Chain A
């Protein structure tokens, strides 16, 4: 890795080097943890994609028999669970982990080992869910696990894998949230006020609060499901006096903020990419930030719009219709500001920009179909049909996934030092855009024509055949586009074009350092005077408000005389991975209670060992704190 100052490099003498499996298991470097999350997310994306292809193949024709009903129910449950918890969230975590410290001008997050723990807990959570396929069947009650279906058959452990899997993944997210919130509050570079923080950092910050406050609610609900299944409690048993609809409230009190967790990081990425590729600042920056905060708050007030057919009563339904409608306002503010950002710019249509523009178009469609959902009587037709499937894929795939790919192509050079191939990137984009719309646009029609969700087959004579076939063809086009991306990844790794520090003429601090960055990120901690600090170092403004190159000031060259500076970076540690492993063993034990209590105890012992070793170990091995 090239740094400007060989003395600093030697002083830091990274003990983990750049390879070796053990160095990855013990890393506490936020950048490597980000890479771990990112690679995991891409692998699970392929798994979730295969699940989707199986679903679409089954539904290509009426009365399909590619999958049995049992296999189908596992497929759609796991497709959703995988995409939400094992793809979009870790992908956002990958970017947040890698770039939050860099965007803030920091050397790492507040708690590096806790950061590693979050990854390993996630990793073992994903492994835990995957194991279920091989030990009698994956969860099959839907990703939302409505009671009492989810509590009905206690002797089959599939839904125990689901409940416990979600619990452990939630733990990983809560720990990350605490870490990122603390990082934002305490580790910004001098001069970086909260309002000078990049928008992606702001969105990560809001998302952390959303997770912090929404996960505990579903945590309680999941405990209640687990106890109903295994201990005979009566939380959701109608016969026992419980209320199944309580589960829906607890789930959606989490579930709705969760969808903002899924979209806000992508919106943050779009807010970073558009200005860079338009060569002008984000229009209405503070409004974009405040609308993100507003969405965060309001996101806690709309949950029952997932329950409009459950019998809430007209007053509650009217109230939630209103709150749902009005959350469209801050969302619209963002979209208008993004369009105003590209307006008047000098647009360079590189792949990151294409995906961000695709995001805007697709997200507008998804957002508008969401508004039609807020019209409660109309929703009573749309709910639980393919119209909803269309809506959320437009916002989560057309939105979040497109946004995340924008981030991948934008930040790939910084992470790897190489630029992804532009031509292949464009092929990927267009194929994905076409395939995506072929797959999901017809689903609006299918839903309104009366096709419900979560149905393993449909008969002839209902008019569902044509659009289902189109949707299936579209899904294969999506798969092709992903293959193009993977080819691009492969080729770039082998012989990609070197990126240099600043291939896009960027605006934020990560582009001031090498690609990939040195272990300690910045030679010296930057002093920040404005938002888009790097841009303002490179460019000033003339009287007409146009950008003009700034007088050549120090642009990344550290001054001589810093050679004696010692930078203390956190040392690697295996305790986070060990602690996570202990939790994993306990979890498996819980699935098979009461026999599994042995494993529970064993796992807890390992966890305690990990925690104890961790607390006794200094953060940095040479004794400094």
Chain B
């Protein structure tokens, strides 16, 4: 009977695999070109002091839990094996009702184990929640959650970017976060735990990368249709490179005055400027990502698509075909923005826009 079930099982697995194999679409991101390692969002691969503190605490508790599990299961298995009733061998069973001393022991011991876990837990809570000291030279970044992209503002430098955060390695970065619509959650597992981003409130999180590298994350609070496509990338640089990046980002855009990009700028002002800003021009709307240095980014669309011409072209043709959105319900007056509409752009307009975006380095 069990053998037949096993056969059915393997057959089923094959059927499932075969039928499911055809049911996935092309990958819009090539993460291997961005990060090393197989698990770039792995919380158990800490890359900074906060994440490491959490990791240490977790493993301690984990091993205690494993020990408890092994002991309890051992007791159960011994009982199962030792006290099974064998046919024809009736054994008298002692009708034991209880043992108060045992009750006390197995109430106190778990309580003690928990108290042991509680102490470092509470210490870590307070530690991780305290903001950086002035002497730590923390960088301040404002994080604003939108449906379905991240806005990052750098008050020290005076610019705003989207979905890709650059930070200096080796010093803390203090995030002040809020949302303009629903609750999101900012999470870069290798750098710290997550923190919800709530409209009407400011929440804080300190992250720090020990070394330069790329650290991936994504929104971790269900926020609607494209929650799965609301990602972010954190690029840590050594101090000099970071400074160079930041100063470049603070520069206004230089709009080409001839060629296809110039035509693209005409289209932009007509169609895009209602929501997108380009610093140094009259496009100042902040409903959608700031595009001043779009070409310097590795991804777009909530860090979900690699920033390639092909992807851009697909996006401009029909954004909702790439990323699930509901722009028909956009209501700019009330601040409800559920994605980028399909503007019915011609191929020529798209060519122009792509040339323009390519120039916004």
Contact = CB atoms under 8 A, between A and B. Distances in A.
B125 interface: yes
A63 interface: yes
Interface string B68-85: 110011011001100111
A463 B41 CA distance: 9
Contacts of A477: 9, 12
B23 interface: yes
B291 interface: no
Nearest to B16: A476
B65 A371 contact: yes
Interface in B173-199: 181-183, 185, 187, 189, 192-196, 198-199
Interface stretch (B107-115, B134-142, B237-245, B350-358): B107-115
A285 B98 CA distance: 7
Contact of A281 (B2, B84, B92, B97): B97
A148 B27 CA distance: 32
Nearest to A73: B225
B12 A329 contact: no
Interface string B1-30: 110010011001100110011011111111
B23 A278 contact: no
B31 A357 contact: no
Interface in A14-67: 57, 60-66
A368 interface: yes
Contacts of B324: 68-70, 456
Contacts of A245: 198, 201
Contact of A239 (B44, B54, B200): B200
A360 B79 CA distance: 13
B58 A339 contact: no
Contact of A547 (B38, B44, B92, B114): B92
Given A69-B226, A377-B57, A544-B92, A342 B12 contact: no
Interface string A426-458: 110011000000000000000011111111111
B195 A380 contact: yes
Size class of the A contact interface (CB-based, 8 Å): 35 or more
Contact of A368 (B58, B65, B121, B219): B65
A286 B9 CA distance: 44
A245 B200 CA distance: 10
A317 B124 CA distance: 11
A39 B28 CA distance: 46
Contact of A326 (B16, B114, B194): B114
A377 B9 contact: no
B193 to A, nearest CB: 2
B295 interface: no
| Majority DSSP secondary structure for residues of B touching A | mixed
A333 B103 CA distance: 7
A146 B183 contact: yes
Contacts of A457: 228-229
A65 B1 contact: no
B75 A149 contact: no
B54 A423 contact: no
A317 B95 contact: no
B51 to A, nearest CB: 8
Given A311-B203, A357-B76, A381-B58, 16 more contacts: A60-B20, A62-B24, A69-B226, A243-B201, A287-B103, A314-B125, A318-B122, A375-B58, A376-B124, A376-B125, A427-B1, A450-B216, A450-B217, A459-B304, A476-B12, A480-B8
Interface of B: 1-2, 5, 8-9, 12-13, 16-17, 20-21, 23-32, 35, 38-44, 51, 53-54, 57-58, 61-62, 65, 68-69, 72-73, 75-76, 79-80, 83-85, 90-99, 102-103, 106-107, 110-111, 114, 117-118, 121-122, 124-126, 128-129, 181-183, 185, 187, 189, 192-196, 198-201, 203, 216-229, 304, 324, 329, 334-336
Interface of A: 57, 60-66, 68-70, 73, 141-142, 146, 148-149, 152-153, 155, 238-239, 241-245, 278-281, 283-287, 309-311, 313-314, 317-318, 321-322, 325-326, 328-329, 332-333, 335-337, 339-340, 342-349, 357, 360-361, 364-365, 368-369, 371-372, 374-385, 423, 426-427, 430-431, 448-463, 469, 472-473, 476-477, 480, 484, 541, 544-547
